[in-house]
Amino acid sequence: MARKRVLFVCIGNSCRSQMAEGFARKYGSDVMEAQSAGLYPAPIVAPLTQKVMLEKNIDIGGHFPKGLEAVAGPPFDVVINMSGQKMPAPKGVAFEEWKIRDPIGLSDDVYREVANEIEQRVMRLVLTLRAGAFDARKASPG
């Protein structure tokens, strides 16, 4: 089975999309090539993002915030928007909106809750991709 190119998008590519990329690479590298980007990239990945991911044995210390232009290349098969802002769904691309709280500036516990929610959603995506059941017609709002 060919791996799907998956893009996770949030506002600053400092928290949510970085978490999603980390989980996707750890759990789903057999079925997807994961990348992340932000609509307005932050200067750094939030230290609490790195801390919470390390608690889950995922080291994203080498990650850095990127804009959408930095992930240009072959088209993505799946785009997951966690920004809370409307994005046009690219034609022929499976597109989902995941409504996930932005933890920036909040407590460690909020970061952990957000990471747990993203981990669960990424695992569902991985299982769906492994089953070969994900396409643009079946993408659903989150």
d(CA 72, CA 68): 7
The second-level CATH assignment, the architecture, of 4-130 is 3-Layer(aba) Sandwich (3.40)
Up-side HSE of residue 50: CA atoms within 13 Å toward CB?
10
Over residues 58-73, the pLDDT tens digits come to 999 999 999 998 988 7
Domain ranges of the chain: 4-130
Over residues 27-81, the pLDDT tens digits come to 999 999 999 999 999 999 999 999 999 999 999 999 999 999 898 878 899 999 9
The model scores a pTM over 0.85:
yes
Over residues 90-138, the pLDDT tens digits come to 788 889 999 999 999 999 999 999 999 999 999 999 999 999 876 544 4
Q: Which amino acid is at 103?
A: P
What pLDDT, on a 0 to 100 scale, did the predictor assign at position 31? 96
For residue 14, CA distances in Å to 70, 96, 129, 131 come to: 15, 20, 26, 30
